[in-house]
Amino acid sequence: MIEVGIIGGGINSEIGKVHISSLKVLPYNIKCACFSRDKIINKQTKKKYNLNTTKLYDNYKDLLKKEKINLLIILTPTPAHYEIINKAIEKKIPVICEKPITSDLNSAKKIFDKIKKKKIFFCITHNYSYYPMIKEFKKIIKKKKKIGIVKQIFIKYPQDSFFHKNLVKKWRLKRYEINSLSLDLGSHVYSLSEYLLDQKPKKIFANYNSFASNKIIDDIKVLVKYKNNVCGSYWYSKSAIGYKNGLEIEVFGTRGSLQWIQTDPENIIFRKINGEKHILSRDIENLSKKYKEYHQFKAGHPVGFMETMINLYLDVYKNLTKDNKKSKKTPFLYGLNEAYNTIKFLSKLNKSNKERKWINF
């Protein structure tokens, strides 16, 4: 059993429920928490999730000072990450942090150097790569048998939330070195691109827009050049009316193409060069056996967003315990290097948009 402390994630947050629910079905014990600095929200969160044995703190520093835990989970808004992560590093506590690692490149580099020096376990919760069919997507790309050599990748992630500002958390409407749109959606787009392609960009060109408001950047389009003449095109937005969470991925190769849509997570659309179109469905008998544990339940019962977080915490458990006899590490966790690369990418977008030119990564 892994003894866990949580900072953030109260009932007034968007993501707390996903993390807490996932932890409760795996060998984790939520020993202590500072869900909020507000005592009422703290108590309400504990009651809502039936965390009867969880000790509450109104100040996260007191939690870190008094409690002995095996894992710290940070679910606060991004601007608060830097200070909390540093406190955890001082205590040499393994950390899971909501994405992204920080809201600027300088602080991300400082954390990167400290964690690397002290060799502390660190993971960012980019859970989209834990959809079983995203893992199959990556396997198909790598084997090249179906689609040949990858030449293009397109990722779009449109939402319309900035047209509904009464539903948007206040911190997302503030200005940071890296805009909140990139911190939220851009981090997911980059993490998926690096996961699927197994490479970092060479050159980047970005264009920022404000469609829902003149004050806040709410639409970003990015062109990316990779090695071997691979090109990427990314669009993420919070001013795309009609979209609530329109994540979609397409990859084009020399012999075929693949498409995955989050609202239809059980299927991959496979198009062949001869015009044939196939649906590759999640069926454990037909998919890679090494991903079987990530399916949670048999085909016909869709694996959704909640299950992807369970899958991520399953990998964390294997990393922090000796249950995984073959190898203590698993290749699917989004670790320190990837977390830093994400902030570096988002920072480069700022430079490209400002200078109106291609920027080296």
Could you say which residues of the chain have pLDDT below 70? 284-292, 296-302, 322-332
Supply the pLDDT for residue 321: 86
At 100, the amino acid letter reads P
Query: Is there a contact between 81 and 97 (Cβ–Cβ < 8 Å)?
Result: yes
Question: Is residue 96 classed as helix, strand or coil in its secondary structure?
Answer: strand
Taking the CA of residue 361 as centre, how many other CA atoms within 13 Å lie in the half-sphere pointing to its CB?
Answer: 21
At 8, the amino acid letter reads G
Rg (CA), the chain: 20
In the chain, the DSSP E strands lie at 2-8, 28-34, 55-56, 71-75, 95-97, 122-124, 150-158, 203-209, 219-225, 231-237, 248-253, 256-261, 267-272, 277-281, 359-360
Q: Rounded CA gap, 220 and 157, in Å?
A: 10
| Integer CA distances (angstroms), 269 to 153, 185, 260, 339, in order | 15, 24, 7, 29
Residues 299-311: tens digit of each pLDDT: 666 677 888 999 9
- Kindly list the structural domains of the chain, giving each domain's residue range(s) and its CATH number in brackets, ordered by start: 2-127 (3.40.50.720), 131-297+336-355 (3.30.360.10)
Say if residue 265 is preceded by a cis peptide, omega within 30 of 0: no
| Integer CA distances (angstroms), 233 to 65, 158, 250, 305, 347, in order | 46, 14, 10, 24, 17
Supply the pLDDT for residue 287: 65
Sign, CA dihedral 156-162-167-173, equals: positive
Query: Is there a contact between 97 and 82 (Cβ–Cβ < 8 Å)?
Result: no
Residues 35-70: tens digit of each pLDDT: 999 999 999 999 999 999 999 999 999 999 999 999
Supply the pLDDT for residue 172: 75
- Residue 278 CA to its chain's centroid (Å): 29
Supply the pLDDT for residue 176: 85
The model's pTM: 0.92
Tokens standing for 17? 């429920």
Q: How many helices (H) and strands (E) does the chain have?
A: 10, 15
- Residue 129 CA to its chain's centroid (Å): 8
Q: Strands 277-281, 267-272: parallel, antiparallel or unpaired by DSSP?
A: antiparallel
Supply the pLDDT for residue 259: 98
